[in-house]
A and B are shown apart, each in its own frame.
Chain A
Amino acid sequence: MSLAFAGILLAALIAQALWPGARLRVVVSGAALSCLLASLRGVSTTARLFAAVPWDVLTILVGLGVVTEVLVASRLFSLMAVRVTRATGARPWRFALTFALVMYVVSGLVNNLTALLLVLPVMLVVFRVLGVTQRFLSLTLGLLLVACNLGGAATPIGDFPAILLLGRGAMRFGVYLTAAAPRTALALALVVVALSWRRQASPRDGTEALRAALTVNTLEALHRGIRIDRRYLLPGAAALAAMLLGWVLIPASTGIGPELICWLGAALSLLGAGKVGETIARRRVDVEAVLFLLSLFVMVGAARESHLFTDIARWLTALPLSPAAQVVVFLVAAALLTGVFSAGPSMAALLDVADALARQHPREARDALYVGLAMSVCAGSSLFLTAATAGPLTQSLIERAGLRGPDGEPLRFGFREYLPVGLVAFALILSVGIASTLAAL
């Protein structure tokens, strides 16, 4: 029976990866089919499958999205991008590095997709006025996407895999943060060093200073009257700060879990934002992401009821390998599966296997295994342009921008242009994840 549920899950994962334009229809249908099969075969009921959905995880996702939207209304992100450009003097490599670093930090705190959407228009102006080469465009955007992925994995609220660990109670906020932040920072540093040899920005024709000055002055002129709107910055930043304090300081023994802290913070930011808060609550909640993940959780829940994941974990632990080697096999498989299926589906499916594997190890080693899994998922998300949602979005923005190189040639940012950066990032992030996990076992 577990094979039937595995088949539905696998077919849905493959179909949504092959036809991203139909991914919501695919997973919603897959979830409905799983419910039907589970009910007909007496494996479970729809009510039981829905009760097993980690609603706390979905609450945290929606809550963080809401706080991000309140911060967006303050124009914080676009003005931050302008200031970063000014601070770097629009010197190409300094600009690329600083943006990567800023997006790494931002992605650890808010929804990186939204932040990226607001920062990219400013970067497009810089690319146009600065006159960049194909190589520099690919490198800068590739590094930016990798930094977003690493930032998302650096904190328990940065991206879905870490939120899942926090929401399901697999790890505490502080424990995850202290373990993951240094590892992701190290991986980012290694990626930057590895990519820096490819850094030629634009033809060296003696006009670099003129280009840089034009870029900074144009960007400032385009944003000359735009100010940060404190009406939204204050409630958004206050709510985020209160949530961070709550996650770090409030013990689980109080019964106040991370999802409730997030819900309270989101409500606080919406109330503080006044009418705009009401608009955000009604129109800006990411229903697509919620529906997608809900459907995945239902399919995973049906597969779990049929003991699929315990079977996989049993198979993994029965491999004629040392426990450390089994962990390496699991982490590499997780990274590759994420590269193909993206982070949400693979993390939702693999966390149960990780749970089963973790039970064989002491508490500290379990934490390292979970962080290792988050790093593997991050490595997989960085492998192909299509592995994380931000990739195709960046690709379409660049296509629409119609950028041209120094000699008027059209510039692209697609699968092929990203791949060299993706392969380097994949290898380095996965290596850091595996090495740090093995060191803790």
Chain B
Amino acid sequence: MSDPSLAMAFSAAAGELGMSAASWLFLRTLAAVEAGAEEAAIESLGAQFPVMAAVGAAWREGHRGPRCDLEGVRARLDGVTRAVVLGVESAHLDALVAASPGLELGLVTESPLEADFERILANFGGRVAAVSLAELQRWSGATSALVTFLYGVDSHATQVSPIWLRAVGDDTRTQFRTLLGWNVLPAPMPVYPRWLVEVALDAFTDVVP
């Protein structure tokens, strides 16, 4: 499989499933069809998509699924009645929706990759509303939270989707009770975090490492 066509295939999946979920899906699928095929994909895609490189490293260490500390998230969202999620990670979103029946959820319909948000949202059976960046402040309040996915955490910084920077400025920060970062990678990324941006951990009120 040529690099350009594999990269296009990965982008198609990552845009709507999330970088981490798409990486796990690709590795599991390739390994199931042909032993060793996933190694070629880690090499080929890992150079272009650092999340794949990080997931590939975890795969080599024996991990077979994403890191998902749902209890940690629920504890930090205790008392929150509405939350807006920035960025897509399907496995984590599915878990959050299933575990939080009373929580009003919105998803910011912006992505650095091509994504059909109508299809993304249809997967949640009406439980998650579409939120444009212009509508973000309508979701603010004393019991509101902003949630985003973190791609590896070290002692002081993390990587997030660039959508986070577009949405969260000094004005937005004070209008939400909780700014929650939810780590989806088992280890920090080994290569330069292309597609993502680095932010300081103190940009969040809560982090689920």
Binds A, one of B25-33, B59-67, B74-82, B154-162: B25-33
Q: Which residue of B lies closest to A121 (CB)?
A: B116
Q: Which residue of B lies closest to A226 (CB)?
A: B122
A363 within 8 A of B: no
Contact B6 A131 (CB under 8 A): yes
B197 within 8 A of A: no
Contacts of B11 in A (CB 8 A): 128
Contacts of A78 in B (CB 8 A): 119
Q: Which residue of B lies closest to A132 (CB)?
A: B5
CA distance A218 to B29 in the complex (A): 9
Contact A406 B123 (CB under 8 A): no
B134 within 8 A of A: no
Contacts of B119 in A (CB 8 A): 78, 121, 222-223, 226
Contact A213 B1 (CB under 8 A): no
Q: Which residue of A lies closest to B124 (CB)?
A: A225
Contacts of B2 in A (CB 8 A): 131, 203, 205, 406-408
**Interfacial residues, chain B to chain A (CB-CB below 8 A):** 1-2, 4-6, 8-9, 11-13, 16-17, 21-22, 25-26, 29-30, 32-34, 37, 90, 94, 114, 116, 119, 122-125
Contact B5 A404 (CB under 8 A): yes
Contacts of B16 in A (CB 8 A): 222
Contact A407 B34 (CB under 8 A): no
Task: List A295-315 residues whose CB lies under 8 Å from chain B.
Answer: none
Contacts of B26 in A (CB 8 A): 214
Contacts of A128 in B (CB 8 A): 8-9, 11-12
CA distance A207 to B36 in the complex (A): 13
Nearest CB in chain A: distance from B2 CB, A = 5
Give the number of A-B contacts (CB < 8 Å): 92
Q: A210-B30, A218-B12 are in contact. Are A223 and B4 (CB under 8 A)?
A: no
Q: A224-B123, A226-B122 are in contact. Are A218 and B9 (CB under 8 A)?
A: yes
CA distance A308 to B208 in the complex (A): 78
Contact A209 B122 (CB under 8 A): no
B94 contacts which of A218, A225, A402 (Cβ < 8 Å)?
A225
A211 contacts which of B1, B17, B22, B114 (Cβ < 8 Å)?
B1
CA distance A404 to B10 in the complex (A): 13
- Majority SS of interface residues in chain B? helix
Q: List 12 A-B contacts (CB under 8 A).
A: A131-B9, A203-B2, A210-B1, A210-B33, A211-B1, A213-B32, A218-B25, A225-B123, A225-B125, A226-B122, A404-B8, A408-B5
Contact A221 B4 (CB under 8 A): no
Nearest CB in chain B: distance from A284 CB, A = 15
Contacts of A213 in B (CB 8 A): 29-30, 32-33
A195 within 8 A of B: no
Contact size class for A?
20 to 34
Q: Which residue of A lies closest to B2 (CB)?
A: A406
A404 contacts which of B4, B13, B116, B123 (Cβ < 8 Å)?
B4
CA distance A218 to B30 in the complex (A): 12
Q: Which of A121, A130, A214, A401 has the most CB of B within 10 A?
A: A214
A210 contacts which of B37, B114, B122 (Cβ < 8 Å)?
B37
Contacts of A218 in B (CB 8 A): 9, 12-13, 17, 22, 25
Nearest CB in chain B: distance from A124 CB, A = 8
CA distance A221 to B26 in the complex (A): 11
Q: Which residue of B lies closest to A218 (CB)?
A: B13
Given contacts A218-B17, A221-B17, A222-B17, 12 further A-B contacts (CB under 8 A): A121-B116, A203-B2, A205-B1, A210-B34, A213-B32, A221-B90, A222-B119, A226-B119, A226-B122, A401-B114, A404-B4, A406-B5
Q: Which 8 A-B pairs have the closest CB atoms?
A: A408-B4, A131-B5, A225-B123, A128-B12, A129-B9, A207-B1, A213-B33, A217-B29
Contacts of B124 in A (CB 8 A): 225
Contact A223 B9 (CB under 8 A): no
Contacts of B9 in A (CB 8 A): 128-131, 211, 214-215, 218
Q: A222-B119, A226-B122 are in contact. Are A131 and B29 (CB under 8 A)?
A: no
Contacts of A75 in B (CB 8 A): 122
Nearest CB in chain B: distance from A143 CB, A = 22
Contact A407 B4 (CB under 8 A): yes
A405 within 8 A of B: yes
Contacts of A227 in B (CB 8 A): 125
Q: Which residue of A lies closest to B13 (CB)?
A: A218
Q: Which residue of B lies closest to A202 (CB)?
A: B5
Contact A129 B12 (CB under 8 A): yes
A125 within 8 A of B: yes
Nearest CB in chain B: distance from A72 CB, A = 12
Nearest CB in chain B: distance from A397 CB, A = 12
Q: Which of B5, B119, B123, B125 has the most CB of A within 10 A?
A: B5
Task: List A36-82 residues whose CB lies under 8 Å from chain B.
Answer: 75, 78
Contact B123 A131 (CB under 8 A): no
Contact B30 A406 (CB under 8 A): no
Contacts of A221 in B (CB 8 A): 13, 17, 21, 25, 90
Contact B90 A214 (CB under 8 A): no
CA distance A404 to B114 in the complex (A): 14
Interface 0/1 of A110-134, CB less than 8 Å to B: 0000000000010001001111000
Task: List A77-105 residues whose CB lies under 8 Å from chain B.
Answer: 78
B30 contacts which of A205, A214, A401 (Cβ < 8 Å)?
A214
Contacts of A404 in B (CB 8 A): 4-5, 8
Q: Which of A121, A125, A130, A221 has the most CB of B within 10 A?
A: A221
Contact A214 B29 (CB under 8 A): yes
CA distance A405 to B9 in the complex (A): 11
CA distance A146 to B94 in the complex (A): 40
